[in-house]
Structures are given as structure tokens and as C-alpha cells.
Amino acid sequence: MPLEQKRQAERKQNPRRRIRNFDEVTSVFTPTQAVHEAERCLGCKKPLCIHGCPVEVNVPEFIELIRQWNFDRAADVLRLTNTLPAICGRVCPQETQCERLCTLGQKGEPVAIGKLERFAAGYGSRTSATAPPQGKKVAIVGSGPAGLTAAGELAKMGYEITLYEALHKPGGVLTYGIPEFRLPQRVVDAEVEYVRQLGVDIQLNTLVGKTITIDELFVLGFEAVFIAVGAGLPQSLKVPGESLNGVYYANEYLARVNLMRAFMFPQYDTPIKRGRKVAIIGGGNVAIDAARTALRLGAANVYVVYRRGKDEMPARREEIENAEEEGVAFQLYTSPIEFVGKKGQLRGMRCIRMRLYEPDESGRSRPEAIAGSDFSISCDVAVVAIGNRPNPLLRQATSSLAATAEGTLIADEETGSTPKKGVFAGGDIVTGAATVISAMGAGKRAARAIHQFLKESN
């Protein structure tokens, strides 16, 4: 077993125990474990790991400080470039970013950068120096990872920031979309509080585009607006029976569990059908999160139904392995063609076998149905997790914004600037559903661009 896998296994809850609770699966490094892991870092003169980080964390510096047992300073270094390090250390796909470029990883196991970030983020004062007030106001729309990052970066630059959130709790997908066993709400709350301490005013229950428009924000004196509302409108399978009771879309299912605390029954009596046989349709991180959540809600059998093979699944390998350890079954090369019910209640799915053909325009192998291969899967709950697209409400209420055929806003990739002067956009609203860290990277780039825009508009 590779070194990091062995160390991780030693820190994990037993699978049979963890499917009965929503506690974090893997424990945080102890100080001694963190220092031992930090001592593996080579301190490369040309550290490629930094180039793999969308928010440009100085990886060698914070790891060296851990090696010196200077944990508070390591946390401070993290927060110089990363507004949400405790979150990134838990959900960021380091294996495809900083750890992929680690020199040690070329011949063996890379330094566990993500685990060290998670450890260090628990230290430090959670305060950051801010520049003198600029005397200018910026509005941020959406309090997910892109919005929180942009708000934090601009607050540090001295701008007066108001962040608008449609829901009653801030955090966006961090709050409603990621299960407690992967990202505890206390961690999200602490990171949001850090952003507040930078001086950001967070206004909840405010649906920009309905409660107030972008144009009205400018009338109120804001000189720039950053749109970071994510992509929260679920994609439909467009098959018969999708409206049966027991069929959920993943964002609703996870929001009921995470945001509405359905896992804390009977303290929270959130309406949700738990199910004994649960089918999850999709192969991304959201699908795996939904599958592992269903187990913890008491399902006896959980199947991930995916039209490609396991190697093609976009979910993180670590999360797939965790799901397998916990008893999730994978029904691969399979696609639903109908949900079947009785008296309005879901009873099962008709599916068809798939095979992979030549790659499509995205570069991924194209799945096609095998004629005559129909079969049935019994289930009383199904969760559709095949992706999301942006809600058109804000765009439709705002003049001069342009969108693609998929509904994502058209904005400059590097700056986030849109055709509407003073309006910037980033994160899933521009790219479609992506990772937390990529959204944070977009928020950081937009903050720099807004700063430049406001300097030039003096």
C-alpha cells in the first residue's frame, strides 16, 4: 500500500461505523503527524506545486513553517493567498493540482499538501491586515466559494463590500451541497466569520434579480458588481416518470440533508424520503456525495448508476474509494430510460446498457445505448445528479448581460469582465458546474480586475 494511502487508512473511521454517523471520515493530522509529513517536502528551488494551485498558495513556505512547529505562522501564510484554507484542505482536488506537480510524486507518494493545509488552517488568529479605506463600494452577488473569495480579497484591499445571499444562511454550495462528513458546517461557519471580520457586510434573504436588481445596486452607490451565484438549476434526464414521488434532483436532496439538517432527526424534522433501495444517477462528486449520504440516512442498498466506466467518472478517486469501502455498488455502462411507479410512488427504473465509442467534442468517450439490452433496477428513491446549469433569473433581469446556449454568462476568462460596464462574473455562473477551488480562483482573479477597473475609473 502506498505511503499516503496507508497513513490515510490509519486516520479513517471504520466504514461500518462511519455509515451510521455524519462525522468527518478522516481525522485531522496531529501536530506530530503534520511535522513528520512536512519533513518529507524537498523545498524545491523551483516549486512546481505553486503553479498547480488556482489561488497561488505558497506551498513550500507554509509547509516549512509546519516543519518548524510554527503552526500559527503557517496559517497566516495560507490566508495571505487563500481566503478559505480550512475548506480547501477538505474538498480541493489536490491530487490533480498541487500534489500532481510535487517532485516526490513523480517517483512515489507526493507530500500530502491538502492534509497539511487542513491541519494548518485550524491555527492562526484568523485576522488579516487590510489596506486603508478606498472610499468605494463593491457588491458581491452570491456567498459561495467565488463570492466569499472575491469579498475577502477586495476587503483586504480596502473596499467597502456588501455580499448578497438569496438563502437564509451564507456559504452557497459549501453549505447546501457538500455533506457534513466531508465538510462540517462549523468549518464553513468559521470561514464565513473570517470574511465578516475583514469588514464584509453579508445580507441574507436577498435575491438579486428579484428583491433588488443589478442596476439598482449601482443607483445605491456601488461602483462595481461581481456576480457569483453559481449554477443551481438541475439538469433533467428527460425520461418518463421523473416527476414520481421519490425522485429527487441532487441539489434538493443534499440541501434537505445539509442546509435543512435532515440528518439530525428528530431534532430537525425535515421532510425527506429516506428509502431502502436508493439509485444515484451520475458519476461526479455530487453523485458520490448523494450515495454516501443515502447510506447514512439508513438505506440498505445504494447504487451509483453511470453511463460510462469507473475510469471515466469525474469524481475524485478518494471519494469513489470511500464509497466502495462503505458499501456503495456501482452499476456502470448503464443509463435510465424510465422511472417506474405505482400510485405516484417510485418503485424502480428501466435502464439500458451502454458502450463507449469515439470521444466526443469534450474529449471523453461517447456512450451509446446497446439495442435490446433493457433491464430493471428496483429502487424507492432515485437521485438525479447529472449536473446543473445557471438559473436565468438574474440574467433576464439585467440589461447588457450575454449568455451562452447553455445559460452560462459570457465573461472574460482572466478578468471576469462582462459586456456590462462595472459588472464582473466568475465561478459556476460562467464555467458551469466546476470545483470549489476553481471558483475561488475565478473570485480572486475578478477581485484583481475590479481593483484595476476602479483605479482606472478615478
> What's the CATH number where 48 sits?
1.10.1060.10
Secondary structure class of 452 (helix, strand, coil) = helix
Does residue 244 fall inside a structural domain?
A: yes
CA–chain centroid gap for 407, Å, is 20
Alpha carbon dihedral 14, 330, 87, 103, in 10-degree steps, equals 90
Lowest mean pLDDT among 52-66, 254-268, 334-348, 425-439: 254-268
Final residue in a domain of this structure, among 386, 418, 433:
386
**In DSSP terms, which residues pair with 384 in a beta bridge?**
249, 281
Are residues 254 and 181 located together in one domain of the fold? no
Strands 375-378 and 345-359: antiparallel
In a domain, 129, yes or no: no
Mean pLDDT on 130-151: 95
**Percent over 90 (pLDDT), the chain:** 87
pLDDT digits (tens, 9 = 90+) for 234-250: 999 999 999 999 999 99
Grid cell for residue 182: 466531508
- Rounded mean pLDDT, 351-358: 94
What would the pLDDT profile of 162-192 be if each residue is shown by its tens digit?
A: 999 999 999 999 999 999 999 999 999 999 9
Distances (CA, A) of 2 to 37, 105, 315: 14, 11, 21
* Phi, psi for residue 72 in degrees, rounded to 5: -60, -45
| 128 in a structural domain | no
What pLDDT sits at residue 452? 97
Can you state the percent helix, strand and coil of the chain, rounding each to 5? 35, 20, 45
Whether the predicted pLDDT of 5 surpasses 60: no
Q: Are 296 and 303 in contact (CB under 8 A)?
A: no
Same domain, yes or no, for 245 and 369?
Answer: yes
Whether residues 104 and 198 share a domain: the answer is no
> Domain check: are 382 and 249 in the same one?
yes
**Across 219-234, average pLDDT:** 95
Q: Are 354 and 335 in contact (CB under 8 A)?
A: yes
Residue whose cell numbers read 471519494: 319
What CATH number does the domain containing 328 carry? 3.50.50.60
Q: 308 or 5: which carries more pLDDT confidence?
A: 308
Considering the domain architecture, whether residues 220 and 269 belong to the same structural domain is answered as: no
Reading the block at residue 436, the C-alpha cell is: 470549489
pLDDT at site 1: 43
The per-residue b/e assignment along 143-181, b for 16 or more CB within 10 angstroms, e otherwise, is bbbbbbbbbbbbbbbebbbbbbbbbebbbbbbbbbbbbb
Whether residue 249 is found in the same domain as residue 271: yes
Residue 114 has a pLDDT of 96
Q: Are 443 and 411 in contact (CB under 8 A)?
A: no
Tell me how far apart the alpha carbons of residues 362 and 129 are, in angstroms, rounded to a whole number.
43
In a domain? residue 50: yes
Domain annotation covers residue 108: yes
* Mean pLDDT across the chain: 93
DSSP 168: S
Q: How confident is the model at residue 267 (pLDDT cuts 50, 70, 90)?
A: confident
Give the count of domains, the chain. 3
For residues 281 and 407, membership in a common domain is answered with no
In eight-state DSSP terms, residue 29 is P
Partners of 348 in beta bridges: 340, 378
d(CA 89, CA 182): 11
Highest mean pLDDT among 23-32, 119-128, 360-369, 395-404: 23-32
Question: Which amino acid appears at position 199 of this protein?
Answer: G
Handedness of CA 213, 216, 220, 226 (dihedral sign): positive
Residues 212 and 224 placed together within one structural domain of the fold? yes
Tell whether the model's pLDDT for residue 9 goes beyond 60: no
126 is a domain residue: no
Higher pLDDT, 128 or 156: 156
| Nearest by Cα to 315 from 408, 387, 239, 257 | 387
Average pLDDT estimate for 109-134: 89
> How do beta strands 381-384 and 247-249 pair?
parallel
Nearest alpha-carbon partner for 447 in 14, 7, 149? 149
Do 59 and 83 share a domain, yes or no? yes
Q: What's the pLDDT band for 8 if we cut at 50, 70, 90?
A: low
What's the pLDDT tens digit per position in 307-341? 999 999 999 999 999 999 999 999 999 999 999 99
Domain that residue 105 falls in: 3-120
Q: Is 132 inside a domain boundary?
A: no
* Residue 7 confidence (pLDDT) above 70: no
Instruction: Please check whether residue 439 is in contact with residue 428, taking contact to mean a CB–CB distance below 8 angstroms.
Output: yes
- pLDDT at position 2 is 53
pTM (two decimals)? 0.94
**Mean pLDDT, range 425-434, rounded to an integer:** 92
Tell me if the bond preceding 392 is cis, omega within 30° of 0.
no
What confidence score (pLDDT) does residue 130 get?
A: 80
Do 382 and 393 lie in a common domain? no
Cα 110 to Cα 97: distance, rounded to the nearest angstrom: 11
Task: Look at residue 434 and tell me if it is in a domain.
Answer: yes
Residues 242 and 325 in one domain: yes
247 and 331 part of one domain = yes
Instruction: Tell me which of 120, 151, 178 is where a domain ends.
Output: 120
The length of the chain in residues reads 458
- The domain boundary, picked from 360, 386, 412, lies at 386
